[in-house]
Structures are given as C-alpha cells and as structure tokens.
Amino acid sequence: MIYRCNRFLFSFILYSVLLVTLSCKDEPTGPEMDCHLNDLYTLQHHFLKAAAVFDVRMDPPLEIKNGIIEYALTYQWVFNEDNDPMPYPYSTYFIDSIAFLDPTSVRVHIFESNQSTDYAYTRDDCELFLTAPGSNLQLELTESGDEISEQRFAIYDHRKRGVYIDTQYVQLDTFLFIEFRLGAFSTYEEIIKEFAMDHPGTYDTISVELVQNKTRE
C-alpha cells in the first residue's frame, strides 16, 4: 500500500512539473512561416505589461526603479481626474475583432465600444502591416494562421506636477502620451533606446508600457 502511494505521488509530481514546463514555454522570437489567413479573428486575450520608466538623458537609457514610479502610470489611468473610465489613448488599447474585408483592407474593432477603423494592409507571409491616417498596427499570425496577435508600445513623457492635498503641497508623477511604437518582438530597452535616438535631447524621463491583444493566451 505504501509502495503504491509513493508511486502515485511520484507520478503526480512528475506530471505537475511537465505541465508547468509546457505552460512556461518561451515567447516566439520571430514570425512564423507558411500561414493561411482567416476572414475573421476574435481577440479574447488582452494584456497590459507593467510600465517602466527610463532616464533617456543617459546612453544607454537607464531604467528608474523606486517602488512607486513603476506603478504611477497605471494609477493615472485608474484614478484619472476627469472620471472618464477610458480616456485616450487607453480607449484604443484593446481590440476585440479583426475582419479582413478584401485582399487589401481590414477592419479593426475596439473592445467594448462602437469604434472601428478601416486599415489598408500589406502582408509578408505571417506578418501583416496595417496603415490608416494617424494609426499603424502590426499583426502576427501564429499556429499556421489559426491565431493572431497584435502588440504596441505606448510611450509617455514623465513629469512632476505640483498639487495641494489638504493644504499640503506635494509633487505627483504625471504622464503625457506621446506615441505608439511598433515592435512585435522588441523589449522595453530596445524600444526606449530607439525612441531616444529619434528624439535626442528632447525628453528627460520616459515611461513605456506594452499593450497586447491575442485570439488566445
């Protein structure tokens, strides 16, 4: 009886380790090949990676961490002064469907809204590049084309803002949206370094957060 229990326990532990290993597979580092294209994709997984703040006066840019500033951009969204639950650009973060209308145009619908945008697109196998006035997107087909993903980096100018709270003057972190930047397989460090090179001497500290939409996790 003890032998059977030990063998069952060992099998359970081995199965659990294998399951965790499979669940933690690395993200792809490049586009797939030989993908087909469906007419409609419903995106059910929406992900927002924790923001990071960088001093772009340094070369290379230096990430700033103090246990507070890393979370301030999220606080700004949740506790915005206008009491708007989804101000711009947050209102465009999440996509719930992508419909291919014909060989050159696609309609992207924003999550839980009446807002949609028609894009022209070009395709390089499993990569698709979408363009519309004031907006560009990059899509990645996965699982041979059965799944699709989209990601952007939202970049903000980090500043200090003085306010009075109960007659006490304090300085709060505030973030002004600058732009979205594409980079399907890029890191925060790569995106910020690229941004700093494009805007030398223009900014002091910059915040970046990754917005990601997928058909499934």
d(CA 149, CA 189): 21
Q: List beta partners, residue 124.
A: 127
Contacts of 56 (CB under 8 A, 6+ apart): 192, 195, 196, 199, 203, 204, 205, 206
Give the CA distances from residue 10 to residues 4, 14, 20, in Å, rounded to whole numbers and listed in that order: 10, 6, 16
The tokens describing 66, both together, are 């103090």
Other CB atoms within 10 A of residue 133 CB: 6
Helix boundaries (H) for the chain: 2-23, 69-78, 188-198
The single residue listed with the structure tokens 């732009």 is 179
Cis peptide bond prior to 89, omega within 30° of 0: yes
CA torsion through residues 58, 49, 26, 17, sign: positive
CA angle 32/35/38 to nearest 5° reads 130
The tens place of each residue's pLDDT in the chain, 217 residues long, gives 443 344 333 333 333 333 333 334 445 566 688 899 999 999 999 999 999 999 999 999 999 998 888 888 888 877 766 666 678 899 999 999 999 999 999 999 999 899 999 999 999 999 999 999 999 999 999 999 999 999 999 999 998 776 666 777 666 788 999 999 998 889 999 999 999 999 999 999 999 999 999 998 7
pTM of the model: 0.80
DSSP 8-state code for residue 22? H
